[in-house]
Structure 1
C-alpha cells in the first residue's frame, strides 16, 4: 500500500452533505464505522437515517434536545453521551438560538452485539490525569469514550493494542500517527486505527488540543459480562 492509500485509510477525507433543513454534515468512514459531524442551525431536527446499526452520540458545541426510544434529555457540550442500539429510533432537535455541533458514531459490524445502558444516556464515570493529559471517560458495555486534553508539547507515546480506536479532534490541532503515517488533525478531522495498528499523538503547538477517542471494545474500563441464565 502506497503512502496516499495509507493516508486515505487511516485519515479519510470528509464526505460533505447539505440537507434541506440547513444541517451540514461531514462524514468519515472506514469499513463498518462512520463518524458524522453535523452542524445544526436553530430549530433544525436531526433524525437517524437508519436504525439498522448502533449509534453513539455527543454534543461538542452548544446543546440539543435528544430523544432515544422514549427517553428525552437536554444534552450539553461534552456533558454526556447516548448509546442507541439497533432498531431503536433517535432524534435530536436544536431548541437553542445558536448553532449546535453534534457528533455521531454509527456502527454495524457483523457478529458484534450493541447493548445499550438503561435509559440510553451515559454520564462521565471518571476524570483524571493520564500521561500528562486531563481525561474524562464514558463507558458502555461495548464502547468506551475518552475526552483528552493534550497540552502544548504533550504527547501520547506510539503504542499498539488489540482494541479498535477511532478519534476526532474537538479543538485546536495536533499530529496523529497511525502505522508511521502522520497527519495534522483539526476540528472534526477523524482517524481510524484497527487493532494492533501502531499509533501515537503529539501536540507541538502552543495551544491546547482536545480529542475524543473511541475504543471498541472498552480498553481502560472493562465492563463485567453477565452470564446468561
Structure 2
C-alpha cells in the first residue's frame, strides 16, 4: 500500500511495503534520494544488489544487527554505528537478536557525485557537543554528514538557508519543521527534504524532548568556514 504524496516535495508521505521475509519498509523519496525505515524481524536478512548504482548509508535506530559491507562485518548498535556502502560494493545485514530491529537507510544516486567510503566502511561518532542549546552528535564521511540532535521542550533551530542539501527524520517525540513556509509536525519516522538554498527551521513547542537525525550532503558543520557556523548558532 502506498500513501498519497503531499503536494509539495518537502514532506512526502511514505510508501509502505510488507515483505514475506519479515521485513516492512517505509520509504520517503525526493528526486534521487530515498530515506527508508526497515522494520526487521528476528532472523530476517536484508540484502543489497552488488550491481546497484546507489550509495547506501545506514544507522540502527532500535535493536541491533550484524551488517557486512564488502568483506567487513560489524555488530551495529543503535545510534552508534553507521555503514557507508559505495555503489557496487556488496551489502547485507541480519537481525541476530530476539527482537525487532529498526534500520534507517539513505539511498542516493545523483549525477556528478562521487560516493567514497571510509576505511573499513563503518563510522563511529566523531564528536558530541552543545549546539544552539541542543545536544548533538556528528558522524562524518567525505560526502555525507549525519547529526543526531536532542531538541528540548521549547527549543528551536532558527529559520536559515545554506547551499547544502539537508534531510531529516524524527527519531523520538515530535517537533515542527518548516521548509519554504510549509510547516509540518514530525513524529517517529516522518522525514523532510530541504534542497540547496531552501529556507528551513525547526521548533519543539512541547514539553517533552524530541530527537532528530539530520543529514547534510555535502558535509556542512565540519566543512564550512568557522565564522559561518558561528553565525548560524547565534
Query: Which category describes the TM-score, using the shorter chain as reference length?
Result: over 0.9
Q: How many angstroms does 1:134 deviate by?
A: 0.2
- Residue of structure 2 in register with 1:192 after alignment: 193
The alignment yields a C-alpha RMSD, in angstroms, of 1.5
- Residue of structure 2 in register with 1:19 after alignment: 19
2:61 aligned with 1:60: yes
Contact 1:7 1:181 in 2 (8 A): no
For residues 8 and 42 of structure 2, the distance between their equivalents in structure 1, rounded to whole angstroms, comes to 34
Superposed CA offset, 1:91-133 (max 9, x none): 1100000000000000000100000001000011110000010
Q: How many angstroms does 1:53 deviate by?
A: 1.1
After TM superposition, the runs of 4+ consecutive aligned structure 1 residues lying more than 4 A away are 4-7
- Residue of structure 2 in register with 1:82 after alignment: 83
Q: List runs of 5+ in structure 2 lacking aligned partners.
A: 225-234
Q: How many angstroms does 1:6 deviate by?
A: 7.0
Contact 2:149 2:213 in 1 (8 A): yes
For residues 101 and 124 of structure 2, the distance between their equivalents in structure 1, rounded to whole angstroms, comes to 20
Q: Secondary structure at the match of 2:115?
A: coil
Q: List runs of 5+ in structure 1 lacking aligned partners.
A: 224-229
2:213 aligned with 1:220: no
Alignment of 1:21-170 (within 5 A): 21-49=21-49, 51-170=52-171
Q: Secondary structure at the match of 1:9?
A: coil
Q: How many angstroms does 1:173 deviate by?
A: 0.6
Superposed CA offset, 1:31-60 (max 9, x none): 000000010110010112562110100000
Q: How many angstroms does 1:89 deviate by?
A: 1.3
For residues 154 and 213 of structure 1, the distance between their equivalents in structure 2, rounded to whole angstroms, comes to 16
Q: How many angstroms does 1:8 deviate by?
A: 3.6
